[in-house]
Amino acid sequence: MVRVGSAVGAMASGHIIKRGDSWRIVVDAGTDPITGRRRQLTRTVNGTKREAETIRNVMLPEVAEGRVTRTRATLAGLLNAWFETNEADWSPRTALDNRRIIDNVIIPAIGSMKLATLKASDLDAFYAKARAGGVSSGEPLAASSVRKFHQVLRSALLQGVRWEWVAINPASNAQAPKGKRKEPTPPTPEELGKLLEFAEKGVPDFYVYMRVAAIVGARRGELCGLRWTEFSKEYTVVEIRSSAVITREGIEVKETKTDRFRRVAIDKSTALLLAEHRAVEAQAEFCGVTLAPDAFVFSYEADGSEPWRPDSASRRFTWVRTRVDLPHTRLHDLWHYVATRLIDAWSTCERWRPGSATRVRPRR
């Protein structure tokens, strides 16, 4: 057995071992940042000793410059460590979505792959398989869903580079599927009328929810997080201050997305409808509880202590829209409906211009 010492000096250590007709190159790769064990990179050359020395001299600076993965960890290990490190900085919804993507999609499909061997081509193959229906539920996934997988992988692997778990980020060279941004398609006044008419007859409590959504222009979580204390005495004004979000522990009510509250006026007929809805206090007394002043407007609890789940509101809306044959209308489209109607109303008015005495008035 012949050993050849390193020619690169203190930069790294490596040697060559003669084994029959081949040469085995061994280079010290430092300590695994996870296990704490020493790592060695090996390569076998079926050629001359000079060829083995040339390859060793290429391997040594790669190790010294950090271009070689220093851990035997798997992609699953990195994803879990990345999640635990960053969870506190995310919103509950972001944390829940990332956890579902990691546990239900990425880890079952490619989580066992070693970081040391993970390549951009592996990620591209994973994306293609997801688009074709080969992961998770087995259903072909939209480009937007696969792009979310790519965002998680890219962020986690970037963290791996910072931690020196990996030398490069394979996701940087992987190509997430492209897709066009879906344009909002708010319902027409006639379509909204069909939705409300059916809900009023079939699901009265959800009819109130949809009516407020169409008037106020709030997100589904903001509607679920509404409390009676956020309404004026006659229910003609509401202040949107919070939003109900789904977390790993259940439902949590937090400040709105922009951390600001919005004050919105409510028409008289909707205000009367809310007053009738508020009469559920009698139902609470019948159940032997008291409806708290800060109770949630939309709650399945007699005392109004827990808000509706946002995803529950979406499922109920899906049930309603199916019954009136509007399969492509989403609950979020009601938010766009309000914006569209406001823009239409504004476009019918003459704008006041600075320096002009012209008042805003409807065009004739």
252 or 121: which leads in pLDDT: 121
Same domain, 40 and 83: no
Same domain, 216 and 305: yes
Residue 27 falls within a domain, yes or no? yes
Separation between Cα atoms, residue 171 and residue 155, nearest integer Å:
9
**What's the chain's average pLDDT?**
80
Angle subtended at Cα 39 by Cα 34 and Cα 43, rounded to the nearest 5 degrees: 140
Q: Report the percent of the chain where pLDDT is more than 70.
A: 77
What CATH number has the domain bearing residue 89? 1.10.150.130
Query: What is the radius of gyration, based on Cα positions, of the chain?
Result: 30
Q: According to the model, what pLDDT value does residue 103 have?
A: 95
Give the residue ranges of DSSP H helices in the chain: 49-64, 75-86, 92-101, 107-110, 120-132, 143-162, 170-173, 189-202, 204-216, 220-224, 268-278, 281-286, 310-323, 333-347
232: left (phi over 0), alpha (psi -120 to 50) or beta: beta
Q: According to the model, what pLDDT value does residue 67 have?
A: 54
pLDDT digits (tens, 9 = 90+) for 209-262: 999 998 888 889 999 999 999 999 899 999 998 898 888 778 888 887 555 678
Same domain, 194 and 48: no
pLDDT digits (tens, 9 = 90+) for 123-167: 999 999 999 888 877 788 888 899 999 999 999 999 998 887 887
Across residues 28-43, what is the average pLDDT?
Answer: 67
Q: According to the model, what pLDDT value does residue 69 have?
A: 57
Q: According to the model, what pLDDT value does residue 329 have?
A: 87
Please report where in the chains the tokens 């990620």 appear, as a residue: 123
pLDDT band at 107 (very low <50, low <70, confident <90, very high): very high
Q: Which two tokens stand for residue 277?
A: 């809805």
Same domain, 225 and 331: yes
pTM of the model: 0.60
The residue among 5, 95, 105 whose CA lies nearest residue 49 is: 5
Same domain, 157 and 230: no
pLDDT band at 4 (very low <50, low <70, confident <90, very high): very low
Residue 342 falls within a domain, yes or no? yes
Beta strands 262-265 and 237-240: pairing type?
antiparallel
Same domain, 52 and 113: no
Can you give the residue range of the structural domain that contains 119?
Answer: 75-173
Residue 276 falls within a domain, yes or no? yes
Same domain, 84 and 104: yes
Q: According to the model, what pLDDT value does residue 8 have?
A: 34
Same domain, 46 and 127: no
pLDDT band at 104 (very low <50, low <70, confident <90, very high): very high
Q: According to the model, what pLDDT value does residue 353 have?
A: 40
Q: Amino acid identity, residue 354?
A: P
pLDDT digits (tens, 9 = 90+) for 39-96: 666 777 787 888 877 877 776 766 665 555 556 789 999 999 999 999 988 888 889 8
Number of domains in the chain: 3
pLDDT band at 342 (very low <50, low <70, confident <90, very high): very low
What CATH number has the domain bearing residue 342? 1.10.443.10
Separation between Cα atoms, residue 33 and residue 164, nearest integer Å:
8
Angle between the 268-278 and 204-216 helix axes, to the nearest 10 degrees?
A: 140
Query: Per-residue pLDDT for 1 more than 50?
Result: no
HSE of 136 in the Cβ direction (CA atoms, 13 Å)? 21
Separation between Cα atoms, residue 214 and residue 225, nearest integer Å:
16
Same domain, 202 and 169: no
Q: According to the model, what pLDDT value does residue 24 have?
A: 83
Query: Per-residue pLDDT for 30 more than 70?
Result: no
pLDDT band at 350 (very low <50, low <70, confident <90, very high): very low
Same domain, 165 and 308: no
Same domain, 230 and 305: yes
Q: According to the model, what pLDDT value does residue 339 have?
A: 53
pLDDT digits (tens, 9 = 90+) for 256-286: 755 567 898 998 999 999 998 887 656 666 7
Same domain, 10 and 88: no
Residue 363 falls within a domain, yes or no? no
Please provide the DSSP assignment of 57-103 as one string: HHHHHHHHTT-S-----BHHHHHHHHHHHHGGGS-HHHHHHHHHHII
